[in-house]
Amino acid sequence: MSPLARWSSCVPSVTLYPRNQNLIHRLPIPSKRAISACTTSGQSNASHSPEMKPPFKWVTVWAPTPQPTEEADMPSYPFRGVAFHNTTIRQTLRVTASGDFIRIRLSNLFGSETLHISRAVIAVARPHNSVAPGGSPSILQETAQQVLFDGEQPTSVPGGSYVVSDSLKFPIKAGQVLSITIFLQKGHHSQQITSHPGSRTDSWLCHGDQSMISELSGPDLQSSTHWYFLSGVEMCLGTAHHGTLVLLGDSITDGRCSTDNANNRWPDLLFDRMQQHPFAQNISIINQAVGGGRVLRDGKGPSLLSRLDRDAIAQPSRRYILVFHGVNDIGTADSDPACCQEVTKALKKAYSQIVSRCHAHGLHVLGATIGPMGGNEPYGTCELRERARQDVNDWIRTSGVFDAVVDFDYVLRSTQDNSRLKEEYDSGDHLHPNVAAFKAMAAAFPLDIFEQFDLAETSG
């Protein structure tokens, strides 16, 4: 028995399929210019850069999915009109790798007008009112550094694009909370704002330039559970880093029914486990989920088929892709036999296309079965939709299209009724798992799979 088959037989909720070695392409070694960019951090830090031995690579260590901002998610008064006029926005995030050099990405992907950033500052977040640093309006002021773009501030981001900052020497540990503060003196003269509405983390807004202030204040200070204009944090790492795991999903992966500012979505809990694993601790993880998103058609944000290149394949040092997506396609299908058969067939084709596109870039692709939705209004009220879900899940498990399968349906479903969530895992709407379920999902994820992929590459 091969090592891959033997390993797979020991894990009932996971199937690992042999990989066509002809589809594996090794990523190019960074150019001298790229290495130089990693080992310097702008004019202010270049003289303090330690000696580094190549090769180095830029690695995405945090990224939300950029989305168009719907009316309900727009900033509230007094930050409307000219959006964020004379406004400081402080936002926090948790990085998933340790390193000394970082850079940030700011996005105006869905904007129609140029976004003018007057100042950007990074710092380590400080706990606020004895609360954990996630979602805090406070920073450790001694860690604050201004972020430069091509050696200067301010910077402009044309509509439909994003910018990458210069690198900064900024030592930070995996799991540490980073604060990014931006100041928009002129505001954004557009109601088409790029954001991520499902941050599950407080961001803070106030008037005036308070980007370097340790704690934001003012009579108009307010919080919002959205990330605005942030699209990623990258870190310059050496060959000991094994690559980035990109999670593609919907609201379940985006963390609906998790606790705000607690970082207890199932991807967060998976990251915590990975940090205790000798191989997986050197893999960063990014959550590219869209609440309400679908595989086949646009919904709340672009479809997975249309955003795959941008949100997964284009991520620096991406190596592993997990696809846990499809419940919204099935749940919104018309409740008649022809439509349910059509969406079942279309999802299978879409998954095959996703895997083929990722394989062309040498990526390992994991598929996750779709969780139960029985009893949910309106998704789980139609037996035809449940048959479609079961059919798609059987195909995910048995087709061999994915390099590995993580059976989240098996983890979450009731033993009395496979169409429903376990009672102790149900958030109450019979569709979204609760935090107890997130813990079970993270615990069921087989961390040895990454080392097995590595073994398959080196031995093949």
Look at residue 423 and tell me whether its pLDDT is greater than 80: yes
CA distances to 119, 127, 144, 217, 255 from 132, rounded to whole Å, are 26, 5, 19, 19, 18
- 398 vs 402: CA distance, rounded Å: 9
| pLDDT tens by residue, 327-361 | 999 999 999 999 999 999 999 999 999 999 999 99
**Is beta strand 364-368 parallel, antiparallel or unpaired with respect to 404-406?**
parallel
pTM for this model (two decimals): 0.89
Does residue 89 contact residue 205 with C-beta atoms inside 8 Å? Answer: yes
| pLDDT tens by residue, 39-62 | 443 333 433 344 445 678 999 999
Token pair in block for residue 377: 């209004």
Look at residue 449 and tell me whether its pLDDT is greater than 90: yes
pLDDT confidence of residue 47: 32
| pLDDT tens by residue, 248-302 | 999 999 999 999 999 999 999 999 999 999 999 999 999 999 999 999 999 888 9
In whole angstroms, what separates CA 141 from the centre of its chain?
Answer: 28
